Structure 1
Amino acid sequence: MTAYDAYRTARLLAAEGYTDSDAVTTADMDMAAELSGAARPASPDDRQTVRLAHDTITRH
């Protein structure tokens, strides 16, 4: 997963109303990645990168 994939996934999660990255499940991330055309997060590190991107998007 690239940083851009993580950003696209996180952006879609934020647009769908997810406000707490800790509450986002792996299934939620997979769905968001699929809908945004990004690679799915394949590892815990990938999921953490999506969470960090999500936090950045929703807190600014």
Structure 2
Amino acid sequence: MGSLIGELGAREAAARARVETLVAEPARLTARLEDERPDCWRYLVEVDGAGKLADATGYR
């Protein structure tokens, strides 16, 4: 009986570790998103500016 209880305890510990990893994932992704967002906006502004410049100079 002791080995069954030990096995259940090990499975519970493994499940808790997986849950903790999953709970931490949104926070990690949110931080990554916030790090990447400025680059996205900067590129959007650059593309828009390049398009306006191309239109103004007849390059397109």
Regarding TM over 0.5, the answer is no
TM-score by length of 2: 0.28
Indicate the structure (1 or 2) with the bigger Cα radius of gyration.
2
Question: Whose relative contact order is higher, 1 or 2, with alpha carbons under 8 Å and at least 6 apart?
Answer: 1
